[in-house]
């Protein structure tokens, strides 16, 4: 059960990273750079 949970979380994190990179490359979503107070 722990192995399944760990692999699922890891896969989810990888998928999120790939999705974010895809959106950034296609300029669908560009993170704001005005977060430095």
Whether pLDDT at 7 is above 60: yes
Establish how many alpha carbons lie within 13 A of residue 8's alpha carbon, considering only the half-sphere containing its beta carbon. 5
What confidence category does residue 34 fall into, taking pLDDT thresholds of 50, 70 and 90?
A: low
Residues 6+ apart with CB under 8 A from 20: 29
Which phi and psi (to 5°) does residue 8 adopt? -65, -45
| Threshold 0.75, pTM exceeds | no
Residues 6+ apart with CB under 8 A from 30: 24
């Amino acid at each position: 059960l722990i192995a399944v949970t760990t692999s699922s979380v890891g896969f989810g994190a990888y998928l999120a990273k790939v999705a974010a990179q895809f959106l950034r490359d296609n300029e669908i979503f560009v993170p704001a750079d005005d977060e430095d107070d």
